[in-house]
Structure 1
């Protein structure tokens, strides 16, 4: 069965009533037949039929053994890091999501977990950073927001030789475009808020494990710490996943058109998009991904926060907001928004410039989105002639 068909028919609704939509089991507890004897469910923190349906669906889509749904993407991150102990070490991608960086720096390092940040687009950097106490190699591919791509297969070989697990945050690609377990990854994380749910109406996180043994460990953390996804939000995420193939492929197609157009604009300095042949990791992305996703980032010739902030506040169809992956196009200024908690020196080293703008391309007509950007550049030219390339 092809993947787009599985999206629709992996979950069958309710056989007892004929309901074609997955039922929402909005209950906190379940009646037991006798003490300790139940019908598969006893308390909704431990399990819930709606959440279980979502967890089964994401495991199937990613080709993993088990899936687990959490209250947010960061709750999913938290559950994975809780597999570690004080004294353990993580090798993490340098261009990491700001929320993950904040958690690593201000929470886990305080608890004795060490983190080293490297440019994982070169596997050699990963090999050199792994220590005897390294337990996890933490990838985002593509990264947020500079769209670096890491060779997952090569890094898995390196990490596994050193007895480290590989975690891939697959939020930007989604299982529609990339399935890291097929390349050797051990754990996959999603902020399902983004492309999977896809309508900017739910906060959710997902974890998929390669093996049942890892799954049991994540399940223990999920039940013990309680950061679960509720039944209604699970249902919203299922509903979003059913249309993910249509949305993500449309967004990827439009993003490629917009990225190519941005390259021709005199106000633009750097365009980051894996689908461009000029992208340094383009060939790796072609190997790993079926398309290149709906996120683009670019920097202005006038590499100042003021120039970027003026730009992001003048667009009309691209609306200024946190998040990405929804049906409506969004944009943000990472340095003052998504990556504000990341120190400026670290941001610059990772390639996040003062003027970097991140676009999340929705499902609007690409031509209308390009016109919106063009109108914004025209407006900037009138007020800031210095934005044009010499």
Structure 2
């Protein structure tokens, strides 16, 4: 028997693991908006009993994501934080210790500080770009190394293959939040991670239409443990959100190609402008960890952050003056989105904590969308003019 052909990403996103609805042969898998399912006879179902445990539309999305992750299946959740919370409750118990990237999404920080700490779960925030620091942070009770790379919002990278080697030598599992790049730009499981986590709200959906998350692993026993805990907590993805995400996923490769191209153009323009103090983008030669990005990524992504050569007040006024770039708390969509992390994703941290992590009060995070880069640059120019005067503060 001949092996199945290896599909290219654009084909895989459309056809990989796709299941067809049999009754009408609809080209789109239908929305099974139902809570429960009829038993064919007592104790006999067609694989579904109650939608908290499983749903055909959610399963269709899970199979599509699994095709991208290269796993037998994936599990989808109500949100990215629902996925992370389920992962932690599935793996950890009181007295266990977790090592986390020090620059990590603010919601993950809240989960550990304000929820899991109440259950005697220990944790340490570590510079996961420093391999020696990671080694030194491992304790006898350490169970999980949870890494976000590129980090939100500084774009700081962690060497996934090196961290996997360190974690496995000490019996830890390595989970990677791969939201910024997705498996198409960074295959964390192939690099050695045990668990890939995505906020499907972002690039997988790509249209600001849904909230969702996913987990994928090659470990079938762990998958079933996660499935059990998800069913118990009720954190499964909603059918309509799963259906919308399925449609967005089909264009993911095409969108990522444009996101990368546009972000590179915008980052280069910002870095060359004297009104900009610094730019964080892994595709720039000035980015200190570019070699790691080139080694473990197949693209530099659509995310960047930068600081103006201006005060905090002027930086916030610059954001407010933007017209084409939308100030909103998300990323990875067709629209370019801009935020100030100090007042958004990292607002729960003190100014001292943010400063230690490189998240200054004037830092601006940009999720570059599919608009023409020259139009985005024109929007920056008019915002400069609005804040600094007719010449835009040119130096």
What interval of TM-score do these two structures reach, taking the shorter chain for normalisation?
A: over 0.9
1:273 to 244, 262, 281: 281
Residue 2 of structure 2 corresponds to residue 4 of structure 1: no
Q: Identify unmatched segments of 5+ residues in structure 1.
A: none
Secondary structure of 1:201's aligned partner:
coil
Match of 2:3 in 1: none
Please tell me whether the aligned partners of residues 119 and 350 of structure 1 are also in contact (alpha carbons under 8 angstroms): no
Match of 1:326 in 2: 333
Aligned residues: 387
Secondary structure of 1:359's aligned partner:
strand
C-alpha distance after superposition, 1:40-66 (max 9, x if no partner): 111111111100111111122112233
Deviation of residue 16 (structure 1)? 3.2
Please tell me whether the aligned partners of residues 12 and 21 of structure 1 are also in contact (alpha carbons under 8 angstroms): no
| Equivalent-residue separation in structure 2 for 1:80 and 1:388 (angstroms) | 49
| Equivalent-residue separation in structure 2 for 1:19 and 1:56 (angstroms) | 18
Match of 1:49 in 2: 56
Match of 1:123 in 2: 131
Match of 1:227 in 2: 235
Match of 1:313 in 2: 320
Residue 294 of structure 2 corresponds to residue 286 of structure 1: yes
TM-score, normalised by the number of residues in structure 2 = 0.95
Match of 1:68 in 2: 75
RMSD: 1.5
C-alpha distance after superposition, 1:67-123 (max 9, x if no partner): 111111110110111120011111111111011111111111121111111111222
Match of 2:102 in 1: 94
Deviation of residue 211 (structure 1)? 1.0
| Equivalent-residue separation in structure 1 for 2:134 and 2:363 (angstroms) | 26
| Equivalent-residue separation in structure 2 for 1:383 and 1:373 (angstroms) | 13
1:185 to 177, 182, 193: 193
| Equivalent-residue separation in structure 1 for 2:312 and 2:263 (angstroms) | 24
Name segments (4+ residues, structure 1) moved above 3 Å: none
TM-score, normalised by the number of residues in structure 1 = 0.96
2:356 to 349, 352, 369: 349
Equivalent residues in 2 for 1:1-390, closer than 5 Å: 1-10=7-16, 11-82=18-89, 83-302=91-310, 304-382=311-389
Q: Identify unmatched segments of 5+ residues in structure 2.
A: 1-6
| Equivalent-residue separation in structure 2 for 1:330 and 1:252 (angstroms) | 15
Secondary structure of 1:313's aligned partner:
helix
Secondary structure of 2:283's aligned partner:
coil
Deviation of residue 159 (structure 1)? 0.5
| Equivalent-residue separation in structure 1 for 2:279 and 2:152 (angstroms) | 14
Deviation of residue 154 (structure 1)? 0.2
Deviation of residue 384 (structure 1)? 11
Please tell me whether the aligned partners of residues 19 and 60 of structure 2 are also in contact (alpha carbons under 8 angstroms): no
Secondary structure of 1:180's aligned partner:
coil
| Equivalent-residue separation in structure 2 for 1:366 and 1:3 (angstroms) | 25
| Equivalent-residue separation in structure 2 for 1:308 and 1:3 (angstroms) | 39
Deviation of residue 383 (structure 1)? 8.7
